[in-house]
């Protein structure tokens, strides 16, 4: 016969434990800034996990939106799925820029799903010439997505040019 450790039954029967078991599972944590696509996947992973400060951190420091306004824009977001097109690189004076077509499906807390599509611009100063802290990884410079009544696959732009 198995014996429970004293107090374990009380812990197992605690009201908070049942609520935690019923809570929706968050996607695994992902923070990868090695490619423009990885940055955007990480950005939406943060949104999906309700880690708004981490999501905000994927913007280039000089392009970051006001944090409180940014945070308020995601208060009703339950989850987001991302579809990306091919990143289109362009070099300019020691910095590489990428335009990335994107379509997302954002699901609100009430279960309403909406599709948005458009383009992101990301940039990174050449890592080999960076010599003043802090290091600047690939970062979002701009994101312009518009509502769409199409499916994400149909709404995804072919290119951003």
Q: Domain spans of the chain?
A: 33-155
Mean pLDDT computed over 102-126: 97
Mean pLDDT computed over 150-157: 98
Q: Which of 119, 96, 116 is nearest to 108 (CA)?
A: 116
**More confident of the two residues 138 and 14:** 138
pLDDT band, very low/low/confident/very high, at 92 (cuts 50, 70, 90): confident
- Global pTM? 0.84
Q: What is the pLDDT of residue 82?
A: 98
Residue 134 pLDDT > 60, yes or no? Answer: yes
Q: What is the CATH number of domain 33-155?
A: 3.10.450.50
């Amino acid at each position: 016969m198995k014996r429970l450790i004293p107090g374990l039954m009380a812990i197992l029967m605690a009201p908070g434990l049942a609520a935690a078991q019923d809570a929706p599972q968050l996607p695994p944590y992902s923070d990868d800034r090695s490619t423009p696509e990885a940055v955007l996947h990480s950005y939406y992973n943060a949104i999906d996990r309700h880690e708004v400060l981490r999501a905000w951190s994927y913007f280039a420091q000089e392009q970051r939106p006001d944090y409180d306004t940014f945070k308020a824009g995601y208060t009703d977001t339950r989850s987001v799925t991302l579809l990306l097109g091919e990143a289109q690189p362009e070099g300019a004076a020691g910095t590489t820029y990428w335009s990335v077509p994107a379509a997302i499906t954002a699901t609100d807390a009430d279960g309403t799903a909406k599709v948005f599509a458009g383009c992101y611009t990301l940039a990174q100063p050449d890592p080999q010439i960076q010599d003043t802290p802090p290091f600047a990884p690939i970062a979002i410079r701009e994101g312009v997505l518009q509502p769409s009544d199409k499916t994400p696959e149909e709404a995804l732009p072919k290119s951003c040019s």
